[in-house]
Amino acid sequence: MEHALDGLARILKAPLRRLRDRYGAFVLRLAESLATGLAIGVGFAIIQAFAG
């Protein structure tokens, strides 16, 4: 029983992870994908402008 209470106390005392730490990599990857898609779209628009 002592071990369970010690574990619970340790969990409750642990610092909370910030939202930025938790989702920072995901948001960065999402922004990277968005920028890549935008660059491809602009490239196609430029090609269409010169071709037409």
For residue 4, the Cα-to-chain-centroid distance in whole angstroms is: 34
Assessment of whether the complete model's pTM goes beyond 0.85: no
Mean pLDDT on 7-18: 72
Query: Which one has a higher pLDDT value, 15 or 41?
Result: 41
The single residue listed with the structure tokens 């642990």 is 14
For residue 20, give both structure tokens. Answer: 């930025």
